C-alpha cells in the first residue's frame, strides 16, 4: 500500500508537447532594390535635403536593417559587375565579370532560376539596360564592356519586363547613333519573340501585358519628362504587369545614377538620384503592403566617392560634405528589408551571402550553381 501511495505521489501529469515552431514565411514575390553607389552618407544627405535631419526616407521605415560587405573575389574594392554578380548568383567573382566565375564559367542567376520555376521576372534601371548591374541578372559575358553582346542575350533571356535606357545597343549599325558594329536589329528580334517594344512614358502606361522591352533613351535615361518615365513610374508599371500574371515574380530595380553623382563628386546629383530611388522604393513598399506575400530588400553594390557629411542645419537643406575619392570605396553599405523572410537579412552579411539568402527565401536555392548549358 505504501509503495502504491509513493508511486502515486511521485507521478506528475505530463505537459503537452511544445508546438513545433511555425515555418518561416515564404514570399511569393521578391523586389530587390539596388542603389548603385549608395552608402549611408548618401542616404543621410538625401534625408537632410528632402525631409530635414528629423525626417525619414521611405527606405528608413523598413523594419530590418543590416550591413553588407562588398569586396569581390580577390580585391578590397568592387566594381558594379562583381557586386551585382554576388547578389544575382550568390558567388564572388573578379571585377568586370558579368554573372561568370573567375574561370569564365556561366553562373545561374536568381532571375534565371525564377523563370525556370515559372515565376515572372523583371529588370528596371535608369542606366542602359545593358549596364553592369542589370546585365548580371540576365546575361553572361567575361567583361561588362560587351554591351552589344549583353543586348543580344537580353533579347533571348525571356525576362518579362525590361525597362531602362540603351536603345543604341539594340539597333543595327546603319541606324544613326547605333553602338553596334553589325546589322542585327534586336528590336525586330524582340518583337518576333512577342515583346511589346516601347519607347515613351505614354506607351509604358498603355501597354497591357508582358513581355515588354522599354528603351526610353539611346543610352542612359535623362531626367524624367513627358517622354521619359521616372524610376518610380517604371517600377509601378513593372509591378502592375508582373503582379497581374498572378504567378509570383522576382523584380530587380536599380537606381543606377546615384553612382555617377559620386564619381563626379556632384552632391546635387547624388541627392536627386537618391530621392528618385527612394520614391521607387516607396512604390515597392506600397505594393508589398497591398500584397502580404512580397519580400522587399534594399541595398547597394558599393559606396562611391567616400562621402562624409561634415556640416549643415537640421532643417530641410543640403548638408556640407567632404569627398575622399572619385571611385568606389570598400566601406560596408546598408541593407533594409521588409515582408516575409525579411528577418533573415539582419546583421553584417557578405554580398554573396545576400544573394544566397535571396534565393533561399524564394525557394530558388541553393545558389551558387553553374548554368546548365546542355541543349
Structural domain for 228, as ranges: 25-165+219-324+339-361
Q: What are phi and psi of 336, to 5 degrees?
A: -130, 145
Supply 217's cell numbers: 533613351
Instruction: Give me the pLDDT at residue 129, please.
Output: 98
* Residue 74, CB-side half-sphere exposure with 13 Å CA sphere: 7
On whether residue 239 sits in a domain, the answer given is: yes
* Residue 362, CB-side half-sphere exposure with 13 Å CA sphere: 35
pTM for the model stands at: 0.93
On whether residue 189 sits in a domain, the answer given is: no
- Give one word for 104, left, alpha or beta, with left for phi > 0 and alpha for psi -120 to 50: left
8-state DSSP, 145 = T
**What is the number of domains present in the chain?**
1
Residue range 304-320, pLDDT digits in tens: 999 999 999 988 889 99
Cα(302)–Cα(247) distance, integer angstroms:
32
Instruction: Read off the CATH number of the domain in which 263 is found.
Output: 3.40.720.10
8-state DSSP, 60 = G
Instruction: Give me the pLDDT at residue 280, please.
Output: 98
Instruction: Give me the pLDDT at residue 353, please.
Output: 98
On whether residue 3 sits in a domain, the answer given is: no
Residue with cell 501597354: 207
Cα(53)–Cα(315) distance, integer angstroms:
6
On whether residue 63 sits in a domain, the answer given is: yes
Supply 189's cell numbers: 528580334
On whether residue 11 sits in a domain, the answer given is: no
Segment-wise mean pLDDT, segments of 10 residues, the chain, 375 residues: 39 59 78 98 98 96 98 97 98 98 97 97 98 98 98 98 98 97 97 98 96 98 96 98 93 98 98 98 98 96 98 91 98 98 98 98 95 72
* Angle at CA of residue 358, ends 352 and 364, nearest 5°: 110
Alpha carbon separation from 3 to 8, 10, 12, 212, 326 (Å, rounded): 9, 11, 16, 82, 86
Contact 50, 40 (CB under 8 A): no
Instruction: Give me the pLDDT at residue 7, please.
Output: 39
Catalytic residue among 48, 80, 256, 272: 80
On whether residue 261 sits in a domain, the answer given is: yes
For residue 296, give the nearest of 250, 349, 339 by alpha carbon. Answer: 339
User: Is 80 an annotated catalytic residue?
Assistant: yes
Instruction: Give me the pLDDT at residue 10, please.
Output: 43
Element (H, E) at 163: strand 161-165
Which stretches of the chain are DSSP H helices? Answer: 2-10, 40-51, 80-89, 110-116, 132-135, 147-155, 186-192, 201-206, 231-245, 258-263, 267-290, 351-361
For strand 196-198 and strand 347-350, is the pairing parallel, antiparallel, or unpaired? unpaired
Supply 340's cell numbers: 516575409
Instruction: Give me the pLDDT at residue 17, please.
Output: 65
Residue with cell 569586396: 71
Contact 111, 252 (CB under 8 A): yes
For residue 68, give the nearest of 59, 58, 78, 60 by alpha carbon. Answer: 78
Provide the 3-class DSSP secondary structure of residue 106.
strand
* Residue 183, CB-side half-sphere exposure with 13 Å CA sphere: 0
Residue range 219-242, pLDDT digits in tens: 999 999 999 999 999 999 999 999
On whether residue 121 sits in a domain, the answer given is: yes
8-state DSSP, 35 = E
Cα(135)–Cα(164) distance, integer angstroms:
12
Alpha carbon separation from 248 to 86, 115, 119, 288, 333 (Å, rounded): 23, 10, 5, 12, 28
On whether residue 41 sits in a domain, the answer given is: yes
The four Cα atoms 226, 227, 230, 235 give a dihedral, to 10 degrees, of 120
Amino acid at each position: 500500500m505504501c509503495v502504491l501511495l509513493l508511486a502515486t505521489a511521485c507521478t506528475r501529469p505530463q505537459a503537452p508537447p511544445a508546438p513545433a515552431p511555425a515555418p518561416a514565411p515564404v514570399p511569393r514575390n521578391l523586389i530587390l532594390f539596388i542603389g548603385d553607389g549608395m552608402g549611408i552618407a548618401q542616404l543621410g544627405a538625401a534625408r537632410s535635403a528632402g525631409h530635414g535631419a528629423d525626417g525619414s526616407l521611405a527606405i528608413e521605415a523598413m523594419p530590418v536593417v543590416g550591413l553588407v560587405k562588398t569586396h569581390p573575389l580577390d580585391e578590397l574594392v568592387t566594381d558594379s559587375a562583381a557586386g551585382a554578380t554576388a547578389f544575382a548568383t550568390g558567388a564572388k567573382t573578379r571585377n568586370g565579370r558579368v554573372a561568370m566565375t573567375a574561370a569564365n564559367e556561366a553562373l545561374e542567376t536568381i532571375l534565371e532560376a525564377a523563370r525556370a520555376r515559372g515565376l515572372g521576372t523583371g529588370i528596371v534601371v535608369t542606366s542602359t539596360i545593358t549596364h553592369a548591374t542589370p546585365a548580371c541578372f540576365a546575361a553572361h559575358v567575361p567583361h561588362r564592356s560587351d554591351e552589344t553582346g549583353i543586348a543580344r542575350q537580353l533579347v533571348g533571356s525571356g525576362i518579362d519586363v525590361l525597362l531602362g535606357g540603351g536603345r543604341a545597343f539594340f539597333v543595327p549599325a546603319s541606324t544613326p547613333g547605333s553602338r553596334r558594329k553589325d546589322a542585327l536589329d534586336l528590336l525586330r528580334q524582340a518583337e518576333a519573340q512577342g515583346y511589346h517594344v516601347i519607347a515613351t512614358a505614354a506607351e509604358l502606361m498603355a501597354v497591357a501585358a508582358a513581355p515588354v522591352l522599354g528603351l526610353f533613351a539611346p543610352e542612359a535615361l535623362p531626367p524624367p519628362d513627358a517622354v521619359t518615365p521616372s524610376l518610380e513610374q517604371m517600377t509601378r508599371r513593372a509591378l502592375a504587369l508582373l503582379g497581374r500574371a498572378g504567378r509570383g515574380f522576382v523584380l530587380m530595380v536599380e537606381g543606377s545614377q546615384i553612382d555617377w553623382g559620386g564619381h563626379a563628386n556632384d552632391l546635387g546629383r547624388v541627392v536627386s538620384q537618391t530621392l528618385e530611388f527612394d520614391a521607387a522604393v516607396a512604390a515597392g513598399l506600397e505594393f508589398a503592403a497591398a500584397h502580404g506575400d512580397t519580400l522587399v530588400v534594399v541595398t547597394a553594390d558599393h559606396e562611391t566617392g567616400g562621402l562624409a557629411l561634415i556640416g549643415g542645419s537640421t532643417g530641410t537643406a543640403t548638408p556640407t560634405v567632404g569627398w575622399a575619392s572619385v571611385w568606389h570605396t570598400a566601406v560596408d553599405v546598408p541593407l533594409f528589408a521588409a515582408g516575409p523572410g525579411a528577418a533573415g537579412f539582419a546583421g553584417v552579411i557578405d554580398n554573396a551571402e545576400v544573394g544566397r539568402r535571396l534565393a533561399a527565401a524564394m525557394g530558388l536555392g541553393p545558389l551558387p550553381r553553374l548554368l546548365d548549358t546542355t541543349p
